[in-house]
Each structure stands twice: as C-alpha cells, then as structure tokens.
Chain A
Amino acid sequence: MSPLLTGAIFVTLACYALAMAMTVLRLLHGPSAQDRVLALDLLYVLGMLVVLVLGIRYSSQMYFEAALLIALFGFVGSAALAKFLLRGEVIE
C-alpha cells in the first residue's frame, strides 16, 4: 500500500465520517418520522461505503460480503419502516 493510496483512503474515510455526523444530526433533529427513516437509510449506505473502503485499505475480499449484507439489511429495514409509516403495520 503506497502513501498515495493510504492518504486518499484516509481522506475518504474522514469525508464519510463527516457525512455520517451530518446524517446523525438530521436523524436526531427530525422533524418528521419520514425524515428520520431517510436519514437512517443514508446512514446504512454510508456504513456500507466505509466497509467497502476498508476492504480496499486492508486488501481483503472478506469485507465485500459484509458490505453486501449491510446493504441488504438496510433495504429491508428501510422498506419495513416506510411500510409501517404508510399502513401502521408491516405485515398485513
């Protein structure tokens, strides 16, 4: 791993951390429930991005499967929450 790539990965992870902090602010601030669900969905995507970039950093393919699982569960959770906001129950 060259200093160029290490530095780029460090800057990228810092950007993701800042983006996650802003998303958490929106998650805490609200104002409506759908805003919080949207923020949680973006938080899942950013977490997945962090795992993918760490996979490049440590040069390992194992991180990729974890990222895939995070993406899948993030979708399931967001869809269930949106369905709950829409209908009042998840499975009818």
Chain B
Amino acid sequence: MNALPLWVELIVALLLLASGTLALIGALGLLRLKTFFQRMHAPAVTTSLCIWCVAVAAIVYFSARDGRLELQAWLIMILLAVTAPITTSLLARAALFRQRPAKGTAADDDNARQ
C-alpha cells in the first residue's frame, strides 16, 4: 500500500479529532445537565455532527487510498439522519406521558410543572 499524501492524512486526523471532541461534549452534556428534557439535547451533537465528521473522514480516507470515489459512509449519515429524530420524538413523547400528573388535581399539576 502506497503512502497517502500529507494533506489527506491531515484532513482525516483533524476530522477524527473533532469527532472525538464532539462525542465528549455530547456525553458530558448527558451526564451533567439537570432535567431529562435538557439531557435530550446533548446526544444530538453526537448523532449529527460527530457522525458527519467520522463519515467524511472515512470517505476522504478510502477515496484517497483507492484512488476513486468511495461513498459508502454516506449510508450511515443518511440512516442516522432518518432514525435519530424518530427515536428522539418517541422518547420525548414517552417522557411527557410518564411525567403527567397521576390525578387531575391542581396541586399535582403544579408539582409536575416544577
């Protein structure tokens, strides 16, 4: 296998490091944020931008290695772009459903809003 040009390796390395940082940010948000609905935002960083960085890095690396366009990693970007919002909305609906007041009294409503 012949060596890749330096600028290709630089692009791949920078994209990978960016994705690692973004994954850390997402996981830190999931760990540190206060309520569930705040925590739902944090993994979106990982499922959108982090995946994109890794997929573009894979496309650049395999394209440079084989000398032709290798676009398979697009599939993962498309799959995650389609499935992540579905999971998020289902989970948000489940959380809203489970956090509803058990009885319809005013005190229960106030407790649920806090």
Contacts and interface: CB of A to CB of B under 8 A. Distances in A.
Size band of the B side of the interface?
A: 35 or more
A33 B31 CA distance: 15
B26 to A, nearest CB: 7
B69 interface: no
A52 B58 contact: yes
- Chain B binding surface, main DSSP class: helix
A37 B70 CA distance: 34
A8 B76 contact: no
A41 B87 contact: yes
Contacts of B47: 42, 45
B91 A82 contact: yes
Interface in B1-57: 1, 3-4, 6, 9-10, 12-14, 16-17, 19-21, 23-24, 26-28, 30-31, 36, 39-40, 43, 46-47, 50-51, 54-55, 57
